[in-house]
């Protein structure tokens, strides 16, 4: 029978008709493929019903199945609901998506008279609800990757999945490039395995929903690596209209040369907010969000009560309230970080503002899609630059959006830390058989290359502590019990459950009013710098610090209007290669005026100033500025490749310069270029630049130049947490055993000294090399420089181009001097300073 | 590095120890014997060699100074007695004439019999040997005695020009209190900010440097 003639299909079409809707072609395609037993990936713009493409497919299938069963006892059924068991697992990366999805799905089930329960399970789900689910799973479970692993850490998990039809990974592009993606892959592999062990005849479909990424095909292969499944990509043939506008100051001089706050333009935001129904204002960091909240309220008191702030460190009840208020349209504007990036459909939102560079095309388009959510509506997004040069980025993003030049997301592979956590998770649950599991794990994309000896090492790591060459006496964690590897200690199992996940942050403390009332969370390192009586802001409130008591920061409401804002240590994003290359082109166009971008016209005076004291690089030129100031001797170079590439390139150049003459540099960089600062004269002539930036012998020089140990040490922080070496501590809920306190850095040193072949160490180095160094991109940049015209400018003052780099506070050190020499010199300097006093 | 404190000569060793020559007294703090084994018991793999290195360093100090007494200002043992304590017992038997004194710290939870078996003289709160008071954590109130303590695992950051920085464990000598670095290599650092006029001695890989 054709799907169109089936009862389920007709019922769905009829229901859509009553609300004057017609399915899009990609939706009916998805329903058809699903009915034929396919797995795959759905790619459609936001707002066109991606959710329904798959949810209705499952619903149609179910209605048709019920139709096939003879209704002999239909009267009895009505008296008491007979649960059908878990049919669909819907994975979402963000908790905030779950509520909205559940609401939409419940409505569909009610309208179609399908007696299904829709359950939500994540960190915000109350314990009573979880217990209820344990007794009887709902038909649909909306869940995060972490909660899937928590489910696998329970006993008798396999009983949950006997009637499972389909697993959907929503917003798959968000998970794809992260360790949470690996968690998802592993979770799916286990659920698939559990079902296959007991019911090998049943088909489990695996579907993903993804926004456009540069590597669509690979995205599907990562999610559905199983050769025995039919798979396809369904791409919607619809284009979302996006209107991008820049917020411009009255004059270019009103925009600072450097900075990342942008609040000088805050007054320009007010008319936009008032003109719109509801505005979402996106910032790149939580700290920036707090500052903007204060700034806007100070500017216009009428906004009090109409303006809210939403980010990951805010109490979830408050977040829920904000999300509800967004739905009902009672808020005028919400300032948010990436916590509201994803698919939540807030109908009243008709305007989006992006403050500062979004760093990538995909992220910008995603945020734009938060407004004008319904099909055929135009998404309106304003770009508010935080410093003058970001105006060029605005022009670049416009062009990238037009040409759909969207970044790829590289999937994470060989994440041993995640695998270790996963194995202990299974050991905490029903236990596992290591020979069987090896092949199951090897089927996933992340661990296709896993070698038997690596697997053996990991098994040793969790059972005996490590290989026999290194003594690990008295180690106990995972033990063999009746043929299965299990964690027997209840205490260890509890501690593990509390630490499932791959999102590692600084230890966080709860913040509460001394009179009661929870506000949110801040990083311990921030609070440790606080003195009694000093103030800070959180969730838009100014608070006076009173004391820290039992992992909780007690505060009072402050009388002050302004205070410092905690800086949450989120990773700094780097400009993507796509955006970088368009950016270089835009520099060209600004100068020769071959463009239609008002942003570029606007910034022209600044370019003129740069041209007067230095030079504006065209895209076939490579600019180096040599500037002497009282701080020392600076070398500024501008490859426009993003801060990450610049970090490595700077270290490389510092190393090569150090070969000419031993010297120490401090390094700074931003997305446009990098700075080498030394207290000694930097020996470099214009005709030597190409030799210095030569791509030959790149690999060797990288190894010799970057402090690989330091980079790996940084990477090891996350690895140590994920693999369970270090406990993050759970704010308020669990105080880590004081006898087990340690730090990732300490483990890094200990393993480096005593257990060199530790796989987690190797992973730290691998991550540093492949994720941090991006060698191919670096090589491409150096090749480009070789074919560019070198322009070297000497100056005694900072230029508009170098200024943003200069004020960047994140710095690295690079030295070719001996450690002892450095220490001696530094102490001598310190003494000199003391004598002066 | 030799410092003069309350008219007593103290030698600061780069092996994170102080030698008080006139009393033939070697002082260390925060040894955390058994910390690595405690971690292993709780399913966190820390190589056993870590504890052995500490004992080897202690042996080297014994050979260098030939002290009559070893004084530990707290956190000698980490929580419970375990396999690492056996290694210490073995080490102890090599020096039967050495007096070992422990001023208890927050991690010292062994039974009385265990300390006796290991030949350790225990002081619960403090030990006074004029002009010094040996105590685990710095007391709130000061008196005529100069306090020598441990507990916080002090570290210091050296800054160079062009914003360079390096981190080291350190000794701290303030107006009424000295803080010793943690002896064990399996310990972290708490970075102290110079300011109140105290003197810092950074422990670099080669030697102790006054800052």
- A818: contact with B, CB 8 A cutoff: no
Query: Looking at beta carbons, which residues of chain A come within 8 Å of B35?
Result: 739
Instruction: Say what the pLDDT of residue A502 is.
Output: 76
Instruction: Give the number of other CB atoms < 10 A from CB of residue A275.
Output: 10
- B159: contact with A, CB 8 A cutoff: yes
Query: Per-residue confidence at A810, pLDDT binned at 50, 70, 90?
Result: very low
A437-470 CB burial, b ≥16 within 10 A, e <16: bbebbbebbbbeebeeebbebbbbbbbbbbeeeb
| pLDDT higher than threshold 70 for residue A718 | yes
Average pLDDT, chain B: 88
Query: Per-residue confidence at A524, pLDDT binned at 50, 70, 90?
Result: low
What is the torsional sign of CA A212, A216, A220, A223?
Answer: negative
Instruction: Say what the pLDDT of residue A832 is.
Output: 59
Task: Report whether A728 contacts A507 (CB < 8 A).
Answer: yes
**Residue pointed to by tokens 């501590």:** A729
Give per-residue pLDDT as tens, A593-608. 888 888 888 888 888 8
- B162: contact with A, CB 8 A cutoff: yes
Q: How many CB pairs under 8 A join A and B?
A: 126
Give per-residue pLDDT as tens, A457-515. 999 999 988 765 566 767 878 999 999 999 998 888 988 988 888 776 556 677 888 88
CA distances from A752 to A747, A760, A764, A796, B46 (A): 8, 11, 11, 45, 12
Instruction: Give the number of other CB atoms < 10 A from CB of residue A36.
Output: 10
Provide, for chain A, the percentages of residues in helix, strand and coil under a 3-state DSSP scheme, each rounded to the nearest 5: 45, 15, 35
| pLDDT higher than threshold 80 for residue A830 | no
Give per-residue pLDDT as tens, B102-126. 999 888 888 888 888 889 999 999 9
Helices B49-65 + B83-94 axis angle, to 10: 20
Please write down the long-range contacts of A301-308, taking CB distance under 8 Å and 24 or more positions apart: A303/A273, A303/A332, A303/A333, A306/A330, A306/A331, A306/A332, A306/A333, A307/A331, A307/A332, A307/A333, A307/A334, A307/A335, A307/A540, A308/A333, A308/A334, A308/A335, A308/A540
Testing the interface with B: which of A657, A754, A759, A806 to mutate, by most B Cβ within 10 A?
A754
Q: Token digits for A560?
A: 């002050």
What residues pair up with A674 in beta bridges, in sequence order? Answer: A637, A669
User: How far is C-alpha A31 from the geometric centre of its chain's CA atoms?
Assistant: 31
| pLDDT higher than threshold 60 for residue A103 | yes
CA distances from A811 to A137, A634, A651, A658 (A): 51, 14, 11, 18
| pLDDT higher than threshold 70 for residue A5 | yes
Cα–Cα distance, A44 to A268 (Å, whole number): 34
Q: Token digits for A544?
A: 């006076």
Query: Looking at beta carbons, which residues of chain B come within 8 Å of A826?
Result: 158-160, 164, 166
Q: Token digits for A81?
A: 């609901």
Cα–Cα distance, A440 to A23 (Å, whole number): 38
Asked if B39 and A461 come within 8 Å (Cβ–Cβ), the reply is no
Mean of pLDDT values over B173-178? 91
- SS3 of A100-117: the string is HHHHHHHHHHHHCCCCCC
Testing the interface with B: which of A474, A528, A668 to mutate, by most B Cβ within 10 A?
A474
Cα–Cα distance, A20 to A37 (Å, whole number): 30
Highest mean pLDDT among A242-251, A424-433, A612-621, A775-784 belongs to A424-433
C-alpha distance across the termini of chain B, in Å: 12
Mean of pLDDT values over A34-38? 95
C-alpha distance across the termini of chain A, in Å: 92
A286: nearest Cα among A254, A258, A249, A313: A313
Provide the ipTM.
0.78
What is the torsional sign of CA A379, A216, A192, A427?
Answer: negative
* Coil, helix or strand at residue A523: strand
Using CA atoms in the order B93, B99, B103, B104, what is the torsion angle rounded to 10 degrees? 20
Testing the interface with B: which of A459, A463, A464, A465 to mutate, by most B Cβ within 10 A?
A465
Q: Chain A, 469-528: which have a CB under 8 Å from a chain B CB?
A: 470-478, 487, 489, 492
Cα–Cα–Cα angle for A633, A636, A640, rounded to 5 degrees: 165
Asked if A815 and B164 come within 8 Å (Cβ–Cβ), the reply is yes
Query: Looking at beta carbons, which residues of chain B come within 8 Å of A837?
Result: none
Mean of pLDDT values over A432-455? 95
Asked if B166 and A823 come within 8 Å (Cβ–Cβ), the reply is yes
Instruction: Say what the pLDDT of residue A76 is.
Output: 46
Least confident among A30-44, A82-96, B9-23 = A82-96
Using CA atoms in the order A145, A520, A272, A596, what is the torsion angle rounded to 10 degrees? -50
For β-strands B177-179 and B190-191, DSSP reports them as unpaired
| pLDDT higher than threshold 90 for residue A305 | no
User: How far is C-alpha A459 from the geometric centre of its chain's CA atoms?
Assistant: 30
Average pLDDT, chain A: 84
Highest mean pLDDT among A277-286, A798-807, B127-136 belongs to B127-136
Cα–Cα distance, A513 to A124 (Å, whole number): 22
Please tell me the distance in Å from B101's CA to the nearest CA on chain A.
23
Q: Given A725, A745, A827, which is nearest B209 (Cβ)? A: A827
Q: Token digits for A323?
A: 């999300």
Instruction: Say what the pLDDT of residue A741 is.
Output: 67
B201: closest chain A residue by CA: A827
B42: closest chain A residue by CA: A476
Q: Chain A, 775-814: which have a CB under 8 Å from a chain B CB?
A: 811, 813
**Residue pointed to by tokens 């350190």:** B170
Fold of B2-210: Purple Acid Phosphatase; chain A, domain 2 (3.60.21)
* pTM reported for the whole predicted model: 0.80
Cα–Cα distance, B42 to B35 (Å, whole number): 11
CA distances from A505 to A282, A717, A736, A810 (A): 21, 10, 16, 18
Q: What is the largest CA-CA distance in chain B?
A: 56
B5: nearest Cα among B146, B194, B155: B146
DSSP state of A723: T
Architecture of domain A242-403: 3-Layer(aba) Sandwich (3.40)
Instruction: Say what the pLDDT of residue A582 is.
Output: 85
The runs of H, that is alpha helices, within A517-576 are 524-527
Give per-residue pLDDT as tens, A740-781. 667 788 888 888 888 888 999 999 988 887 777 778 889 999
Instruction: Say what the pLDDT of residue A735 is.
Output: 45
Query: Per-residue confidence at B8, pLDDT binned at 50, 70, 90?
Result: very high
Cα–Cα distance, A604 to A531 (Å, whole number): 46
Asked if B41 and A476 come within 8 Å (Cβ–Cβ), the reply is yes
Instruction: Say what the pLDDT of residue A328 is.
Output: 85
Cis previous bond, A693, omega within 30: no
Cα–Cα distance, A148 to B72 (Å, whole number): 49
- SS3 of A603-630: the string is HHHHHHHHHHHCCCCCCCEEEEEEEEEC
CA distances from A835 to A828, A831, B191, B199 (A): 11, 6, 23, 14
Cα–Cα distance, A333 to A330 (Å, whole number): 9
Instruction: Say what the pLDDT of residue A10 is.
Output: 92
Q: Is B158 left (phi over 0), alpha (psi -120 to 50) or beta?
A: beta
- A416: contact with B, CB 8 A cutoff: no
Asked if A492 and B107 come within 8 Å (Cβ–Cβ), the reply is no
Give per-residue pLDDT as tens, A400-420. 888 888 888 889 999 999 999
Instruction: Say what the pLDDT of residue A598 is.
Output: 85
A497: nearest Cα among A158, A155, A172: A155
Instruction: Say what the pLDDT of residue A569 is.
Output: 42
Query: Per-residue confidence at A160, pLDDT binned at 50, 70, 90?
Result: very high
For β-strands A674-678 and A552-557, DSSP reports them as unpaired
Testing the interface with A: which of B33, B41, B46, B80 to mutate, by most A Cβ within 10 A?
B46
| pLDDT higher than threshold 80 for residue A443 | yes
Highest mean pLDDT among A26-35, A767-776, B40-49 belongs to A26-35
Instruction: Give the number of other CB atoms < 10 A from CB of residue A555.
Output: 25
Fold of A3-69+83-235: Rossmann fold (3.40.50)
Give per-residue pLDDT as tens, A55-101. 999 999 999 988 877 655 544 445 567 788 999 999 998 777 788 88
Instruction: Say what the pLDDT of residue A815 is.
Output: 52
Q: Token digits for A811?
A: 């710095």
Instruction: Say what the pLDDT of residue A342 is.
Output: 65
Instruction: Say what the pLDDT of residue A471 is.
Output: 63
**Residue pointed to by tokens 């990450």:** A644
Domain ranges across chain B: 2-210
Provide, for chain B, the percentages of residues in helix, strand and coil under a 3-state DSSP scheme, each rounded to the nearest 5: 20, 35, 40
**Residue pointed to by tokens 């509390």:** A498
Residues of chain A with CATH 3.40.50.300: 3-69+83-235, 242-403
Query: Looking at beta carbons, which residues of chain A come within 8 Å of B188?
Result: 742-743, 745-746
Cα–Cα distance, A134 to A86 (Å, whole number): 11
Asked if A665 and B188 come within 8 Å (Cβ–Cβ), the reply is no
A256: nearest Cα among A396, A397, A389, A393: A389
Q: Given A678, A750, A827, which is nearest B186 (Cβ)? A: A750
Query: Looking at beta carbons, which residues of chain A come within 8 Å of B187?
Result: 746
Least confident among A618-622, A791-795, A826-830, B1-5 = A826-830
| pLDDT higher than threshold 80 for residue A659 | yes
Run of H or E residues at B150 = none
Instruction: Say what the pLDDT of residue A1 is.
Output: 60
Is B209 exposed, middle or buried, given 0-12, 13-18 or 19+ CB atoms closer than 10 A? buried
Q: Chain A, 703-762: which have a CB under 8 Å from a chain B CB?
A: 724-725, 737, 739-740, 742-743, 745-747, 749-751, 753-755
Task: Report whether B116 contacts B83 (CB < 8 A).
Answer: no
Instruction: Say what the pLDDT of residue A35 is.
Output: 95
Cα–Cα distance, A83 to A64 (Å, whole number): 17
What residues pair up with A95 in beta bridges, in sequence order? Answer: none
Query: Per-residue confidence at A530, pLDDT binned at 50, 70, 90?
Result: low
């Amino acid at each position: 029978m054709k799907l169109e003639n089936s009862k389920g299909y007709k019922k769905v079409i009829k229901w859509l008709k009553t609300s004057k809707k017609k399915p899009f072609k990609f939706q009916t395609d998805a329903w058809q493929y699903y009915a034929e037993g396919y797995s795959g990936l759905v790619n459609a713009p936001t707002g066109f019903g991606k959710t329904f493409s798959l949810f209705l497919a499952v619903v149609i299938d179910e209605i048709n199945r019920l139709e096939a069963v003879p209704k002999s006892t239909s009267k009895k059924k009505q008296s008491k609901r007979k649960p059908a068991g878990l049919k669909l697992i819907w994975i979402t990366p963000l908790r905030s998506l779950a509520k909205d999805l559940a609401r939409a799905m419940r409505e569909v089930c009610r309208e179609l008279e399908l007696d299904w329960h829709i359950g939500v399970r994540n960190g915000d789900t109350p314990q009573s609800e979880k217990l209820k689910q344990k007794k009887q799973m709902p038909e649909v479970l909306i869940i995060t990757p972490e909660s899937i692993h928590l489910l696998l850490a329970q006993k008798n998990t396999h009983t949950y999945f006997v009637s499972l039809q389909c697993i959907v990974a929503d917003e798959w592009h968000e998970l794809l490039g992260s360790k949470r993606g690996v968690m998802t892959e592993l979770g799916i592999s286990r659920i698939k395995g559990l079902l296959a062990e007991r019911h090998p005849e049943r088909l489990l479909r695996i579907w993903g929903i993804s926004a456009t990424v540069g590597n669509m095909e690979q995205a599907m292969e990562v999610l559905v690596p199983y050769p025995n499944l039919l798979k396809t990509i369904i791409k919607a043939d619809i284009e979302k209209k996006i209107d991008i506008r820049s917020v411009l100051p009255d004059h270019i001089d009103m925009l600072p040369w450097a900075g990342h706050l942008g609040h000088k333009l805050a007054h320009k935001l007010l008319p936009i907010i008032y003109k719109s129904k509801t505005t979402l204002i996106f910032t790149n960091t939580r700290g920036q969000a707090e500052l903007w909240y204060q700034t806007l309220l100070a500017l216009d008191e009428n906004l009090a009560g109409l303006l809210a702030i939403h980010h990951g460190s805010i109490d979830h009840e408050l977040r829920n309230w904000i999300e509800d208020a967004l739905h009902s349209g009672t808020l005028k504007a919400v300032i948010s970080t990436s916590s509201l990036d994803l698919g939540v459909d807030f109908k009243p939102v008709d305007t989006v503002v992006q403050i500062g560079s979004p760093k990538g095309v995909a992220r910008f388009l995603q945020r734009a899609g938060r407004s004008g959510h319904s099909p055929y509506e135009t998404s309106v997004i304003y770009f508010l630059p935080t410093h003058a040069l970001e105006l060029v980025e605005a022009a670049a993003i416009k062009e990238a959006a037009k040409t759909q030049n969207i970044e790829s997301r590289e999937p994470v592979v060989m994440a041993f830390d995640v695998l270790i956590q996963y194995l202990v998770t299974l050991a905490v649950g029903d236990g596992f058989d290591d020979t069987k599991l090896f092949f199951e794990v090897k089927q996933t994309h992340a661990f296709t290359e896993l070698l038997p000896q690596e697997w053996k090492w990991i098994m040793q790591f969790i059972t005996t502590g490590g290989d026999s060459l290194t003594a690990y006496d008295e180690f106990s964690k995972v033990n063999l019990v009746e043929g299965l590897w299990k964690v027997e200690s209840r205490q260890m199992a509890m501690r593990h459950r509390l630490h499932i996940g791959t999102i590692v942050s600084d230890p966080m403390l709860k913040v509460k009013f001394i009179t009661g009332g929870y506000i949110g969370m801040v990083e311990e390192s921030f609070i440790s710098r606080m003195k009694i009586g000093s103030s800070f802001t959180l969730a838009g409130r100014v608070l006076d610090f009173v004391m820290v008591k039992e992992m909780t920061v007690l505060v009072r409401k402050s009388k002050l209007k302004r205070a410092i804002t905690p800086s949450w240590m989120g990773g700094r994003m780097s400009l993507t290669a796509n955006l970088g290359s368009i950016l270089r082109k835009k520099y060209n166009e600004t100068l020769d005026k071959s463009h239609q971008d008002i942003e570029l016209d606007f910034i022209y005076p600044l370019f003129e100033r740069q041209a007067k004291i230095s030079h504006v690089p065209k895209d076939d030129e490579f600019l180096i500025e040599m500037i002497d100031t009282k701080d020392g001797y600076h070398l500024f170079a501008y490859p426009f490749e993003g801060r990450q590439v610049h970090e490595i390139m700077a270290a490389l150049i510092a190393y090569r310069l150090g070969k000419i003459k031993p010297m120490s540099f401090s390094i700074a960089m931003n997305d446009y270029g990098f700075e080498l600062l030394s207290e000694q004269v930097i020996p470099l002539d214009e005709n030597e630049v190409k030799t210095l930036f030569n791509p030959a012998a790149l690999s060797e020089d990288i190894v010799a130049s970057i402090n690989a140990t330091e980079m790996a040490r940084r990477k090891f922080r996350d690895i140590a947490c994920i693999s369970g070496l270090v406990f993050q501590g759970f704010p308020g809920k669990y105080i880590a055993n004081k006898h087990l306190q340690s730090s990732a850095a300490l483990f890094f040193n200990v393993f480096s000294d005593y257990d060199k072949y530790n796989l987690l160490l190797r992973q730290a180095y691998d991550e540093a090399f492949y994720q941090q160094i991006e060698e191919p991109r670096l090589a491409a940049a150096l090749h480009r420089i070789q074919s560019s015209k070198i322009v070297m400018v000497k100056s005694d003052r900072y230029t508009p181009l170098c200024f943003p780099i200069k004020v960047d506070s994140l710095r690295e050190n690079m030295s070719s001097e001996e450690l002892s020499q450095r220490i001696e010199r530094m102490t001598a300097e310190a003494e000199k300073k003391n004598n002066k006093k | 590095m030799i410092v003069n404190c309350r008219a007593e000569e103290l030698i600061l060793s780069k092996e994170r120890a102080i030698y008080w020559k006139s009393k033939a007294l070697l002082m260390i703090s925060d040894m955390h014997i058994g910390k690595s084994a405690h971690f292993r018991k709780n399913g966190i793999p820390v190589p056993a060699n870590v504890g052995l290195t500490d004992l080897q360093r202690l042996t080297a100090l014994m050979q260098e100074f030939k002290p009559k007494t070893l004084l530990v200002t707290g956190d000698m043992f980490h929580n419970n007695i375990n396999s690492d304590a056996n290694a210490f017992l073995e080490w102890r038997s090599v020096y039967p004439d050495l007096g070992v004194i422990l001023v208890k710290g927050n991690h010292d939870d062994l039974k009385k019999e265990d300390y006796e078996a290991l030949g350790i003289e225990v002081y619960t709160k403090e030990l006074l040997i004029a002009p010094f008071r040996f105590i685990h954590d710095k007391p709130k109130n000061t008196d005529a005695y100069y306090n020598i303590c441990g507990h916080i695992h002090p570290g210091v950051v050296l800054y160079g020009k062009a914003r360079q920085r390096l981190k080291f464990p350190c000794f701290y000598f303030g107006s009424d209190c000295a803080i010793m670095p943690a002896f064990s290599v399996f310990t972290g650092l708490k970075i102290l900010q110079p300011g109140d006029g105290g003197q810092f001695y950074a422990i670099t890989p080669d030697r102790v440097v006054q800052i």
